[in-house]
Structure formats: C-alpha cells, structure tokens
Structure 1
Amino acid sequence: MANIKSAKKRVLTNETKRVKQQAFKTSMRSAIKEFYKKADSSNVEEAKQLFILAEKKLDKAAGKNMIHKNNAARHISKMQQRLNEIAQ
C-alpha cells in the first residue's frame, strides 16, 4: 500500500474505475452473445435490434479505451456479416 496521501487516493480511484469497467465489459460481452444466439435461431428482427445494442456498447468501449478500436471494429464487422447472411 502507498504511503503518500495522493497515491492512496489514486489506488482508490483506480479500483473504482476497474469495477465499473469490469461491469461494462461484462454487459458488452453478454450483448454480443445474445446477438449470436438470435442470429443462430434465424430471428432477423430481434437480431437487428441486438446488433444495434451490441454495436453501441462496442463503440462506447472503444471510445473509452476499454478495448482497442480495431478489436471493436472486428467484432462489429463479424456481426454485420452474420446479420447479412441470415437476412438473405
């Protein structure tokens, strides 16, 4: 543990930030999984809605540097391809 007052504060803020990021990343991953479940069942309308939700979460995570922007782009691209496949 740190001895300096500002370092102690920093430890606390880092922990708070970690917990919030962990919760957001979990919800992001869940949104992606839900999309793929609906896509596998060929439910186009619900898959479109879940795609929009998952895309928003991925963009938000990339914007806050929780994940790399290329990682988000790769996930979105794969989901878009999957959505296009089931829409045909």
Structure 2
Amino acid sequence: MANIKSAVKRIRVNNDSRLRNQALKSDLRTAVKHVETAVSNNDAETAKKALLTASSKIDKAAQGGVIHRNKANRQKSSLTKKVNAIGA
C-alpha cells in the first residue's frame, strides 16, 4: 500500500478510470452483438437502429480513449457493410 498522499490518490483515480473504461467497453460489446444478432436474423429495421446506437457508442469509446480511433472506424465500417448486405 502506498504511503505518499499523491500515490494513494493516483491509485484511487486509476481504479475509478479502470471501472469506467470497463463499463464503457462492456456496453460497446453488447451494442455490437445486438447489431450482429439482428444481421444474423435478417432483420433489416432492427439492424439499422442497432447500428445507429452501436456507432454512437463506438465513437464515444474512441473519444474517451477506451479503444483506438482506427479500431473504432474499422468496427463501424464492418458493421455497416453487414447491415447494408442484408438491406440490399
């Protein structure tokens, strides 16, 4: 355990950030799974709505540094291709 006041605070702040990032990442994965489930069920309307939600969550995660911006763009592109494939 840290003895210095600033080190104690650093541990506390890091732990709070870790928990926040963990929650954001979990929410992100769930949103992506909703899109993929809708695509596998060939449900175009649900897939489009889920894609909007997932896209927003992906952008927020990238903005907060939870995932890299290139990964965010890759995920959005991949999901959009899947949704467009069932819509056509």
Q: Would you call these one fold, judging by a TM-score over 0.5?
A: yes
User: Which secondary structure state, in structure 2, belongs to the residue aligned with residue 3 of structure 1?
Assistant: coil
Q: Distance in 2 between matches of 1:21 and 1:62?
A: 11
Report % sequence identity: 39
TM-score, normalised to structure 2, is: 0.97
**Structure 2: segments with no counterpart, 5+ residues:** none
Q: Distance in 1 between matches of 2:50 and 2:84?
A: 14
Correspondence for 1:28: 28
**Cα deviation, residue 20, structure 1:** 1.1
Aligned AA (1:2): A
1:8 aligns with 2:8: yes
Correspondence for 1:77: 77
Q: Distance in 2 between matches of 1:9 and 1:64?
A: 21
User: Which secondary structure state, in structure 1, belongs to the residue aligned with residue 73 of structure 2?
Assistant: helix
**Cα deviation, residue 2, structure 1:** 1.7
User: Which secondary structure state, in structure 2, belongs to the residue aligned with residue 67 of structure 1?
Assistant: coil
Q: Distance in 1 between matches of 2:8 and 2:15?
A: 11
User: Which secondary structure state, in structure 1, belongs to the residue aligned with residue 42 of structure 2?
Assistant: coil
**Cα deviation, residue 26, structure 1:** 0.3
Aligned AA (2:52): I
**Cα deviation, residue 65, structure 1:** 0.7
Which string of whole-angstrom CA distances, capped at 9 and with x for unpartnered residues, describes residues 3-47 of structure 1? Answer: 210110110111011111101100100100111000111101110
**Structure 1: segments with no counterpart, 5+ residues:** none
Q: Distance in 1 between matches of 2:24 and 2:77?
A: 21
The number of aligned residues is 88
Q: Name the structure, 1 or 2, with higher relative contact order (CA <8 Å, separation 6+).
A: 2
RMSD over equivalenced CA pairs, Å:
0.7
